[in-house]
Structure 1
Amino acid sequence: MSEQWFAELYDRCYERLVLAAYALTNDLGAAEEITQEAFALAYSRVRRVSRADSPEAWLRTVVVNLARRRFRRKATLDRILLRQRSEPPPPPEPPVEHLDLHAAIRALAPEHRMVVVLHYLADMPVDEVAKVLGVPVGTVKSRLSRARGALAERLRTEVDHA
C-alpha cells in the first residue's frame, strides 16, 4: 500500500477523529494523542486497514477504544488518588463555546455520552455506532433517546434558572 494512500486517509479523517476523541475525553491534548495513536496503529497494520470496508470506521473504532481505555485508567488513578487526599481535584476548565451543551454532555452517563458523541458529533449512522460500540442497534437507539431526554431536561433547567 502506498504512503500516498495513507497520507490522504490522514488528511481526510484526522479532524473528525480528533473531534470524536475530544467529545469523549473533553481534553484536546488527549484527543490529539489518541488520534495520533490510532493512526500509528493503522500505519503498523496498513494492509488490514486498506482492505477494510471503511478505513475511517476502522480508525474511529480504535479511537473509541483508546478513549475508553484512557477513561478506565484515569478513573482507576482518580480512585487511588482520592484515597490519599481528602478533597477531590478541581474539574478541568470547560471550552468557551457552547458551555451549557458541553456541560450537559459531560454529565451524561458514559454509555449515553458515547452514543451522542459518535452519532451527533462524529456524524456516524446508528448502525455504525452499534458496530463500533459492539452493541445492538436497538440499544444505540434507546441510549440516544434517553440521552436526548436527559440533555433536553438539563438544558431546559439551565435556561429556566438563567
Structure 2
Amino acid sequence: MPAHPVSFDELYAAHYADLTVQLYAYFGDRQEAQDVVQEAFCRALTRWRAVSAYEDPVAWIRRVAWNLAVSKWRRSRTALSFLRKQRPSDEHVDGPNPERVALVAALATLPPAHRRAMVLRYLADMPVAEIAERESVPEGTVKSWLHRARTALAAQLSAEPTETTEGVRNA
C-alpha cells in the first residue's frame, strides 16, 4: 500500500499526458490515444477503492489502456479485412444534375406552406384532400398554395431560358 493514498484527481493530473503520449506512439493517432486513456481512467474511477489500494495504480491504468488499444487495433484490423473481401459495388450514383439543383434552389425560395404543399403533392403523390387534412386547412387553400407555388417556380425557372431550366419545366 502506498505511503499516502493519492486521490484520483491527482493521479489523473500527473499521468494523463504521459499515458496519452505512450498510446499516441502506438496508435499514431492522437484522438484515438486520448480516447483510450480516457476510457482507462474512467474504468479506474469506477473501481477507485480497489485501484487506489494497489501498489502502483498507474500501472493498472496503463495496462487497461494498452489492452483497450490492442482490442481497438484488432477490431479495426478485422473490419478492414472484412471490407477488403467484399466485392466492390458496381453501382455508382451520380450527384444531382443541374435541373435538380435549380429546382431545389427554386423550391427553397417559396414560403414554407407552399413548399410543403408542392412536395407533398408532387413528390409524395398525396391528393389535395389529404394535404388539406394534414395541414388543417381547407382544400381551396391547398389549391391556392399549389397554384401560387407553380406560378412562382415557373417564373424563377424560366427567368433564364437555358437547357437546364428547359429540362426542369419538362420534368
What is the TM-score normalised by the length of structure 2? 0.46
Q: Pick the structure with more helix per residue.
A: 1
Q: Give the TM-score normalised by structure 1.
A: 0.49
